[in-house]
Amino acid sequence: MSLAVLLASFVTLLVVVDPVGLVPAFLSVTEGMSSEARRDIALRASLIAAAILIGAAIGGDWLFNTIGISLPAFRIAGGLLLFSIAFEMVFDVHIKRQSETAEQAVEERARNIAAFPLAIPLMAGPGAITAVILSAGRTGGNIGALVILVGVICIVCAVCYSSYRASERISKAIGITGNIVLSRLLGVLLAALAVQYVIDGVTALIR
């Protein structure tokens, strides 16, 4: 795997994941949370996404072929799940468990948000997983090239983490009203993205 191919893989993954574009979504799903909670979510999401993408680079193609899951099917499933999150954002639906303390509820919600929808499918979504699997295929089984690809994945996830950390300053700048408006608007956009995921998956299956 040449340096040019690795650079192309880095640029492709960076564009597909779009760390800067994820900031509004991060602001929306962490609305009302403390700085510490947001930092924890940002770190968790980045680590989970890195683990998923590294796993995809090492054995994603083999796993999908073994259990009979196609990338279009994965895209459809991700789109449907993402739509449920968009619905909650637009209509301000918050699921609470009465039996838990407030601290436990916040901690559980933080873990859930970090895993879904931030880590998957927003960061480690079908597009990113596809890009990683294709890049891994270009290594030709070269361990050194695969290690470098893993490093590229870690760098992209680190950039995502940095973008999430900067979101706090953005949140303070736009204020409470701005956050509310942004949350609803992005919920609609996220719903559209979810529908597009499903359409792309169905189109690929038909083809």
* Tens-digit pLDDT profile for residues 129-167: 888 887 887 777 788 888 889 999 999 999 999 989 988
Q: Which of 104, 109, 105 is nearest to 30 (CA)?
A: 109
Outline where 95-142 has alpha helix (H).
102-113, 126-137
pLDDT in tens, 20-53: 778 878 887 887 788 888 999 999 999 999 999 9
Reported confidence tier of residue 182, pLDDT bands at 50, 70, 90: low
Burial 84-117 (b: 16+ CB within 10 A, else e): ebbeebbeeeeeeeeeeeeeebeeebbeebbbbb
Q: Which tokens go with 37?
A: 């909670």
- Domain boundaries, given as residue ranges, for the chain: 3-206
* Length of the chain counted residue by residue: 207
Find, among 136, 201, 156, the residue nearest to 49 by Cα.
156
Q: pTM here?
A: 0.70
